[in-house]
Every structure is written in C-alpha cells, then in structure tokens.
Amino acid sequence: MAYRGRRFFAKWNKTHSRVSKLEKLTVSLFAVSNFFYALKTVVFYRYLTPLSY
C-alpha cells in the first residue's frame, strides 16, 4: 500500500511540479510519522496487553 502511494505521489509530482520541496518533505514526514504511530499501536496492543483469548 505504501509503495502504491509513493508511486502515485511520484507521478503526481511530475504533473504538478509547482509543489515545493518543503511541501513534499512535509507530506512524506507526515506519512512516515503516521506509519510509525500505527506500527507502535499495533505492537502495543499485540504484545503489551494481556491476551483475552
């Protein structure tokens, strides 16, 4: 999914070249932080909470 998204953004940036480097950096940073937040949440609920089954 992330790979598809990256390819989409690469294609989008080629057609919309007015997007600044700062904006691209902000979008990628936002995506990476969201990815790590989701990963942390999954790991927390999978390993750090007592299993109920």
> Does residue 9 sit within a domain?
yes
pLDDT tens figures, 12-42: 556 566 667 888 889 999 999 999 999 999 8
> Does residue 53 sit within a domain?
no
Residue 21 tokens read as 């480097």
> Does residue 24 sit within a domain?
yes
Res 43: pLDDT: 87
> Does residue 38 sit within a domain?
yes
Domain that holds residue 18: 2-48
Res 53: pLDDT: 53
> Pick the residue with more confidence: 53 or 26?
26
Q: 47 falls in which pLDDT band (50, 70, 90)?
A: confident
In sign, the C-alpha dihedral spanning 25, 27, 29, 35 is negative
> Does residue 21 sit within a domain?
yes
> Does residue 31 sit within a domain?
yes
Residue 14 tokens read as 């080629």
**Cα 47 from Cα 16, distance rounded (Å):** 43
> Does residue 17 sit within a domain?
yes
Q: What is the 3-state secondary structure (H, E, C) of 19-33?
A: CCHHHHHHHHHHHHH
> Does residue 15 sit within a domain?
yes
